[in-house]
Amino acid sequence: MKALLLSMAKGLVENPNEITVDVDDINEDGIVVYHLHVSPSDMGRVIGKQGRIAKAMRMVMRSAALKNKLKYKIAVEID
């Protein structure tokens, strides 16, 4: 799942070598949070107009989790 998030983000930004992803452990609600860190100059590219790209990235991650039959929920935060 981390590789999926990295590949989506690398296709959007101008500085792909500055992308990092941190993954939290499953919390008490059964949610795993992926923290996507990008360069401040690339933040707008990843978020998109009215957050459309960020929403689409979250939807792809949730769909991939369902397809892989993961027992936990996924959340993506962009920092």
| Alpha-carbon gap, residue 42 to 38, rounded angstroms | 6
Q: Can you identify the CATH homologous superfamily of domain 2-78?
A: K homology (KH) domain (3.30.300.20)
Considering only CA atoms, which of 63, 69, 66 is closest in space to residue 8? Answer: 63
* pLDDT tens column, 3-28: 999 999 999 999 999 999 999 999 88
pTM: 0.88
Structure tokens at 47: 């978020």
Helix axes 52-67, 2-10, angle to 10 degrees: 150
As a whole number of angstroms, the distance between CA 33 and CA 22 comes to 8
Structure confidence by residue, pLDDT tens digits, 18-68:
999 999 999 888 899 999 999 999 999 999 999 999 999 999 999 999 998
